Structure 1
Amino acid sequence: MSILDLFSLTGKVSIITGGERGIGLAIAKGLAEAGSDIVIAGIDEQNLETAAEEIQALGVTCMAVKTDVTDEGQVRDMVNAVCDTYGHIDVLVNNAGSGRGKAAEEMSEEDFKWVMDINLTSQFLVSKAVGNVMLRQQKGSIVNIASMSGVIANNPQPQCNYNTSKAGSIMLTKSLACEWAGRGVRVNAINPGYTKTALIEKRLSNEDPILEDWLRFTPMHRFGVPEELVGAALYLVSDASSFTTGTTITVDGGYTCW
């Protein structure tokens, strides 16, 4: 077997939450190019439909399922639908997430819980539902999209809810990896830095001065693009990383080096 064969996902089925846009869509397309059939789960029906068409154009099947990943019942229904259609699940990328920054002394309980639910609770719920399938199969790979904000407190914006949720994502990754390592399921994480998603594009269009700080604190002095996370994701979900679990790959232009 050649080294390139280890990266092939032919015959596999991959679920990507929040796969209808941004980082999730880039990863979904990358895994599709590697041969995997794709399931994208999200809440934006219009974008789900458009994304599914783009992914299918790459020569694989794509199933789009409207799913609120903070709702355990909807998550369970989504996983059952995937199993009914494909019969197995090989890869899960927990990408769905969001932020709602505010100074801690002004942050409401609702603001804190909302971010925690989307960024952390959802990863537990989807990992639990998909993990039960993978454990029965005795094989599978889960990748949680965490953030460099899980290991540092970003300057200058206040966002204790977001930082805490991403730190939790990293520890959830390690905990699940330890629990499931002996049963064929690997769990890893990726820590993106500042990446040109809709949030940054909006700030760029508004000439937000905070962007100058973000670039100044990044040694490479530029933003990443979603496609620059695909290589790390493909490595972690493929057989090329068969002895890798409980680890986190940081893709941040050097931000956390300082």
Structure 2
Amino acid sequence: MNAFSLKDKVVVVTGGTGILGGSFVLAIAKAGARVVIIGRNQERLEQKKNEVLALGGQALALQADVMEEAQLINARDQILATYGTIDGLVNAAGGNVPEALLTPDQDIFDLNIAATKKAMDLNLWGSVVPTHILGASMLEKGGSIVNISSVSSKKVLTRVLGYSMGKAAIDQYTEWLGVEAATRHAGKIRVNSITPGFFLTEQNRRMLTNEDGSLTERGEKIIRATPYGRFGKPEELNGALIYLLSDASKFVTGITVTVDGGYTVYGGI
């Protein structure tokens, strides 16, 4: 038996229409799982579902906002009515809030507090709420929850305070829930995270690249600080993801797998 196979599992991906989340969806389908795609845009949900079907996989596309409990409860009920189980959850929803970014011409004390709170809420509660609504369905059979952290939780990145605080909280939440779930539920539910380095997404593309595709000053600094000398490719996260969702990691909980081209360990020399 292939320990890395997801055959016959049902895996939910929030933020499944984004750059990284969309890559996760296809990787999970290729590994044999029935994948549930959760997002806010119905058209993009259907597009991603059709990509899975074109691979010969099975998919269910559900429109829901990860910050809205009622919508997630409805999504959970539809999943259970369709497949009868939830075996995995990937919390890929999140990202920067434009109004929360501190611009170069602003002082630190000009920070938009309301927008900063919104960014933190999205990146923390946007994973906590789905976990507690969907994760409870794993109590009988067991399952795996994978959160998405960020290198901004390990090293200070200028301008993105709300996002960084949310991801730092995700690190603590992953460890806390991993321990609590293991001790309270006989190790049936495991909780881990992936810490991506810099990948071009819809949220950060304008900060890292110019309209002509060249790097911004911020983008150049990041490349210089990354031993691999480039941004990551979305599919380069998939190996870590499949490992954490599969039985190959059944004695692993409370950890983060860092996929950053060496960024967080590089001393600059």
TM range (shorter): over 0.9
**TM-score by structure 1 length?**
0.94
CA distance in 2, matches of 1:106, 1:233: 38
CA distance in 2, matches of 1:94, 1:213: 29
1:218 alignment partner in structure 2? 226
Contact 1:19–1:40, Cα closer than 8 Å, also in 2: yes
**TM-score by structure 2 length?**
0.90
1:168 alignment partner in structure 2? 169
- Per the TM alignment, residue 104 of structure 1 is displaced from its structure 2 partner at its CA by 4.1
Q: Report the AA paired with residue 143 of structure 2.
A: G
Percent of pairs with identical residues: 38
Say yes or no: does 1:28 pair with 2:25: yes
Q: Report the AA paired with residue 171 of structure 1.
A: Q
Q: 1:114-193 maps to which residues of 2 (within 5 A)?
A: 114-135=118-139, 137-154=140-157, 157-182=158-183, 183=185, 184-193=188-197
Contact 1:197–1:226, Cα closer than 8 Å, also in 2: no
- Per the TM alignment, residue 40 of structure 1 is displaced from its structure 2 partner at its CA by 0.6
1:58 alignment partner in structure 2? 55
Structure 1 counterpart SS, 2:209:
helix
**Cα displacement string for residues 169-220 of structure 1 (whole angstroms, at most 9, x for unaligned residues):** 1111111111111420000000001012234544424242211111011111
- Per the TM alignment, residue 21 of structure 1 is displaced from its structure 2 partner at its CA by 2.4
**Cα displacement string for residues 133-173 of structure 1 (whole angstroms, at most 9, x for unaligned residues):** 111x240000001111111112xx32111111000011111
Q: Which structure features the higher share of helix residues?
A: 1
Q: Which runs of 5+ in 2 are unaligned?
A: none
CA distance in 1, matches of 2:204, 2:133: 32
Say yes or no: does 1:43 pair with 2:40: yes
Q: Which runs of 5+ in 1 are unaligned?
A: none
2:111 alignment partner in structure 1? 107
- Per the TM alignment, residue 129 of structure 1 is displaced from its structure 2 partner at its CA by 0.7
Aligned-residue CA RMSD (Å): 1.4
Choose from 243, 250, 254 the match for 2:258. 250
